[in-house]
Amino acid sequence: MLTAQPRTIALRQSEIIITAGKHHRLARNPTRLQGLVTSRPVRAVIRSGDNNTKVDTARKLTENNGPLASSKHAGIHVRAVITIRKKIKENILEKIEDNWESLMSGIGRGILIKLISQDIDPDTNSGKSIESHVRGWLPKPTNNPHIVEYGANFCVPLDFGSPGAILITNFHGNEFFLKEVVVHGFVEGPIFFSADTWIHSRNNNPESRIIFRNEAVLPSQTPPGIKDLRHEELMSVRGNGKGERKMHERIYDYDRYNDLGNNDKIEDLARPVLGNKEQPYPRRCRTGRPPTTKDPSTETRTEKPHPVYVPRDEAFEEIKQNTFSAGRLKALLHNLIPLIAATLSASDIPFTNFSDIDDLYKDDVVLNEEGRKEVKTNQFLTNMINQVLTVDDKLLKYDIPAIIKRDRFAWLRDNEFARQTLAGVNPVNIELLKEFPIRSKLDPAIYGPPESAITRELLEEELSGISVEQAIKEKRLFMIDYHDILLPFIEKINSLPDRKAYASRTILCYTPNGILSPIVIELSLPPSPSSPSNKRVFTHGHDATTHWIWKLAKAHVCSNDAGIHQLVNHWLRTHACMEPYIIATHRQLSSLHPVYKLLHPHLRYTMEINALARQSLINAGGVIEACFLPGKYAMEISSAAYKSMWRFDMEALPADLVRRGMAVEDPSAANGVKLIIKDYPYAADGLLIWSAIKDLVESYVSHYYSGPNSITADVELQAWWNEIKNTGHYDKRNEPWWPNLATKEDLSGILITMIWIASGQHAAINFGQYPFGGYPPNRPTLMRNLIPQEGEPDYISFLLDPERTFLSSLPTQLQATKVMAVQDTLSTHSPDEEYLNQLPHIQRFSFSDPEVQLLFERFSAKLDEIERIIHQRNKDIHLKNRSGAGVPPYELFLPSSDPGVTGRGIPNSISI
């Protein structure tokens, strides 16, 4: 990440500087600045917010280049440079087009710039304006081959005032990416207009793009000259709700999840529409594709390799796209061996022994001669072989996941099973057992007796004589309960081929020496005429048979956990629920608005990754359906969870911990809560991140909203919150738990929760996917057999070969490696990732207020301290859930990371 530095740039007599490029800011690259120092006069270019350098900068500009700020007849001569970022990889046609566009810009026919004053022109009753074409025969040379610069001149009347916006018109045939516009020559010093946006061609849209200067301004404080532009900017991105969206457009609108199925092609790929009374769901971005032939309520799909529409600035940039493409190639490579095996056999094959799994992590695997001969007969496989084979026909394999890297057998132990409920990839479902007996809330007329089969006697036997009441009083019993959310779907899931599931409950005990351990597992099937209460209870036992059955029971719990993690905690609660906030932010908050500027880094890439998920992950026949327990009912389960469980006010970390009984309210404690289990790494580290976000947001909100009615008087802010509730989460619009938005405290609470979800919460449940799930036995995503019982034909086979029974119940080799490949991709940080501790550098280009910049710098310093605290905690031998022999340290809340699968790092946004 390049950081902001004062700029030293040699300017010509009549230049205006406009810079462009997403990740190669000229203003932030010291190496680039050194290359610009020439024999011509040198002037320091400082942001307009650097008050102590304003006057000196203006004086130097005048001394070295003549009267820039005073000319009685000609007005004020101002200047700029426009810098455009080109593609990293261009084909021949694109290079020809690029050279032609450079020529057009050079002769003043490519880009038109209009400066708009903050003052009103009495003749037009709008902002004063003056325009000029970008000129210069050749782009100014830079050290970065992907950055080009052009010059332009303005002679501004003396009564023009200060520019508050610019309008950019692109006469080229193609779009270009604009970084920022820096206007020099005004007495106040350089004026920055941060852009970081694609400028559409006039051929596609005749309207000019509006770019405001780097200031945060409430609606009531908008300078009169740009007030109409503020409204026009918002209207331009809302659209009219009609027509199919084009890829160059920047239209933010809402739609239901009606594009997951594909019943026009295959009837079995039909899926219900999500986003109604029966099956509620958050809204997604509207694409406007035509309806399917068979069902007008569903939308036709866009299949790979064609992209799904997202507003232009939401799409992956080239570095991110290349990383994602590399992940797809990796997925292809990782699935090669299982795919060959499936092709050579009648059906996909299971793992037959643990060596089959171990082979996945060898540095390379040699495809044997027989396999190569068979592959040659299949053109599809031959093409894939040609893409991925290396010297000696060796195939690159998977990295060893963190969960087995230090201890190959950790996953077998009960304490590791329990540890991962507190420090694994899904540490958000464990809850305190508050009352006994355990009862279901499902309709007993349909789902049988509500009482759990876990009896008092059974629990007390496992508690070594301690009564259940005493254990509950001492807060020693915990539960992971997937019974009610899954039981309504179990019969349908079990009717799918090669897939068997239970609805699980797991009781865990926390011992005085700080060890959490599972003691009882209940697995339930829907009631049947022969078995009105179809529930089985398991304990770990003391003989070989019960030990193996206990392992199978834990595997079924893990498959429940993997499905709920992916569909509810990961996809629904972060990805899907975040999208309406993003759409509403663009539709209702001007880019001038301080809340827009605060949230903007936390919105990056989310709509694109969500669109890609609808295309290939959560769609009918996609990876989730193919490889996770719920199969074709996956998104229906996600909808059921949204209906029964999701509430905005409970997405705040402290509130969620209290709701689950994992913390109690304590005004004297940090964040107002005290953990029940001190050694709860997710909660302990997460509260540090939450606290840092809270301090930043509360200070930020207080900075901009000082008046007693400033929140209720902010028309954009009120429209934003109303749209989130009433449109973005339409199916939940009448719920009484939505927070009000009347005070600074209300606004702070809402923003803290949103930023937490986009950053810390998503990081905690996403980037551990491969480290924990990359070893299939640790977190099988589905099970293919029920647990054998005495008297059944497969019980004897189980007794004779329990290992084979266990492995044949796990996902097949193809299913497992597909999931591993996806988890590997989702756990990978892109080289262009922007992390939470980089906010001061990112936000520096949106604000001219030094007080605000100081808030972000303090936030970054606090995150650095948090990183040191986490490292110290991971070395503490008393914290057994994060340290010990073979125990991987808990690093998911470490703010920074290198690229790749690191098991650490908090990006600002949900970007993968």
CA–CA dist 271, 274 (Å, integer)? 9
Active site residue 133: no
Catalytic residue among 762, 870, 874, 910: 762
User: Cα–Cα distances in Å, from 689 out to 281, 327, 572, 653?
Assistant: 28, 29, 22, 10
List the catalytic residue out of 16, 17, 438, 912.
912
The SS3 call for residue 74 is coil
* Listed residue (788, 347, 198) closest to 552, CA to CA: 788
Q: Round the CA-based radius of gyration of the chain to a whole number and report it.
A: 30
Query: Of the residues 619, 766, 778, 837, which is catalytic?
Result: 766
CA atoms of 372 and 794, how far apart (whole Å) = 36
Lookup: tokens for 477: 């019993």
Answer yes or no: are the C-beta atoms of 252 and 697 closer than 8 Å. no
Any bridge partners for residue 451, and if so which? 439
Tokens of 125: 């009753």
What does the block give as tokens for 1? 């990440």
Annotated catalytic residue, options 77, 184, 565, 570: 570
* Per annotation, catalytic residue among 575, 593, 600, 829: 575
Q: Buried b / exposed e across 769-799, counting CB within 10 Å, b at 16+?
A: bbbbbbbbbbbbbbbbbbbbeeeeeeeeebe
Tokens found for residue 798: 């189980």
* Three-state DSSP state, 373: helix
In whole angstroms, give the CA distance from residue 327 to residue 770: 13
Q: Is 164 helix (H, G, I), strand (E, B) or coil?
A: strand
Kindly compute the dihedral angle of the four CA atoms of residues 849, 850, 851, 857, in this order, to the nearest 10 degrees. Answer: 120
Asked about 912 being catalytic, the answer comes back as: yes
Q: Which of 479, 404, 398 is nearest to 777 (CA)?
A: 404
Q: Which helix (H) or strand (E) holds 699?
A: helix 681-704
To the query of whether residue 575 is one of the catalytic residues in this protein, the response is yes
**Omega into 527 within 30° of 0, i.e. cis?**
no
Is 570 among the catalytic positions? Answer: yes
Are 593 and 219 within 8 A, CB to CB?
A: yes
Which amino acid, 604? R
Is the backbone of residue 11 left (phi > 0), alpha (psi -120 to 50) or beta?
beta
762 a catalytic residue: yes
Catalytic positions are 570, 575, 762, 766, 912
